[in-house]
C-alpha cells in the first residue's frame, strides 16, 4: 500500500505576518506550532489536532489546536489536498 500524499500548506502574506507576530509574542510556542504544521501536512485528521468545522460567521472555516490555549483557523481543501492557514492565536483572537 502506498503512503498517502501529504497536503500542501499554502502560506499567504497575510497569514505569514499574523504567524510572525504570534511567534514574537509567544516564542515558547514555536516548537508546538511547527509540530502542528508538520502533522497538519501529513494528516489533518489526526486526533491530536482536534480538527473541527466552525459555524456562524466562520462557516466554511476549520480549526485545529496547537495546544489547549492556541488554535490555527484554516481552509482545508480536501480535493486539492491543500491547506490555507487563516489565523493563529488564542481562542478569542481566532474566533
pTM of the complete model: 0.89
CATH superfamily to which 8-94 belongs: RelE-like (3.30.2310.20)
User: 37-85: per-residue pLDDT in tens?
Assistant: 999 999 999 999 999 999 999 999 999 999 999 999 999 887 788 999 9
Residue in 60, 38, 35, 40 with CA at minimum distance from that of residue 50: 40
Pairwise CA distance, residues 23 & 63, whole Å: 18
Whether 3 shows a pLDDT value over 60: the answer reads no
- The model's confidence at residue 95, banded by pLDDT at 50, 70 and 90, is confident
pLDDT value for 80:
84
Domain-wise residue ranges, the chain: 8-94
pLDDT value for 93:
87
Amino acid at each position: 500500500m502506498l503512503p498517502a500524499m501529504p497536503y500542501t500548506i499554502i502560506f499567504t502574506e497575510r497569514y505569514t505576518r499574523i504567524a510572525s507576530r504570534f511567534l514574537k509574542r509567544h516564542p515558547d510556542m514555536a516548537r508546538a506550532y511547527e509540530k502542528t504544521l508538520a502533522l497538519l501536512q501529513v494528516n489533518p485528521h489526526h486526533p491530536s489536532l482536534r480538527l473541527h468545522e466552525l459555524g456562524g460567521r466562520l462557516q466554511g472555516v476549520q480549526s485545529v489546536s496547537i495546544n489547549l490555549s492556541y488554535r490555527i483557523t484554516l481552509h482545508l481543501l480536501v480535493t486539492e489536498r491543500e491547506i490555507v492557514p487563516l489565523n493563529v492565536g488564542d481562542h478569542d483572537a481566532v474566533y
